[in-house]
Amino acid sequence: MTLTRIALSLLFIFSLLLLSCKESSATKTTNITETKVKADTLSKPDSLPPPVVEEEEPFKLTEENAIEFFFNYSKTLKEDKVKLTTSFGSIVIQLFDNVPYHKANFIYLTKQGYFNNTYFHRVVKNFIIQGGNADNLETAKKRGEIGRYLLPPDAKKGHKHHRGTISMPSSEVNNPHKLASPYEFFIVVTKPGSYHLDGSYTPFGKVIEGMDVVDEINRQPVDNGDWPSKNIYILKAEVIK
């Protein structure tokens, strides 16, 4: 073999080695790049902010939705009795079926716990005892959470204001149509009844147990504004079967 052929052979072998090194280097670069891309891809989800979940506003009764709400709510009711536990004993009231808005309203407020720790705040001798209000922040807060609304009178269903009838007073503020104040109620004490109220207010139930308690509450001393001298509590109201 001549020197020229030997030199060419060595040059060829050197070229092969050089080419092999370049391919190896290119492969390593590619692998590094791929690893970097994968790492970047995995890190992106962690950097995104969590989705914003909007909280629903709590339901409140209003002048616009109260009638529809109580119309639908009345269809779900099977109960028609409410027990009031007072500081003088218990009173059981049976609600009339044919005054659905007022019945549904009274049961709804009872189940919401509204009447708990309210008062019989107005006592008119030999006439009525009126409950459902109180001069405390708890009652005002509960009214604010439940909503602000009135109910239409429903005084033509044949019910009269006999003794023991529970009826709903009308709001006295800008109320020419005598819309009912839904948070308050009164029980007739007069014998045999207070029939001058018929047609102006809505009877929606009657006392079936505890009329002696009603009478005892009516005997309590009051000030010039018919407010009892000592608070007469409705400790608890509950729907019963």
The Cα–Cα gap between 211 and 236 comes to 17
Tally of domains in the chain: 2
Residues 5 and 101 in one domain: no
Q: Does residue 59 belong to any structural domain of this protein?
A: no
Confidence of residue 41 (pLDDT cuts 50, 70, 90): very low
Q: Does residue 135 belong to any structural domain of this protein?
A: yes
Q: Does residue 24 belong to any structural domain of this protein?
A: yes
210-216: Cβ within 8 A, 24+ apart = 210/84, 210/89, 210/90, 210/91, 210/92, 211/91, 211/163, 211/164, 212/89, 213/86, 213/88, 213/89, 213/90, 213/91, 214/91, 214/129, 214/164, 214/187, 214/189, 215/189, 216/88, 216/89
E strand or H helix at 237, and its extent? strand 233-240
**At 117, which amino acid appears?**
N
Model pTM?
0.77
Average pLDDT, the chain: 84
Given a cut of 80, whether residue 234 has pLDDT beyond it is yes
Q: Does residue 231 belong to any structural domain of this protein?
A: yes
Residues 145 and 223 in one domain: yes
Residues 173 and 228 in one domain: yes
Residues 28 and 86 in one domain: no
pLDDT for res 180 = 87
Tokens found for residue 231:
């608070």
* pLDDT tens string 43-93: 445 556 666 666 678 999 999 999 999 999 999 999 999 999 999 999 999
Residues 98 and 144 in one domain: yes
Structural domain boundaries enclosing 209: 66-240
* pLDDT tens string 187-210: 999 999 999 999 999 999 999 999
Q: Does residue 229 belong to any structural domain of this protein?
A: yes
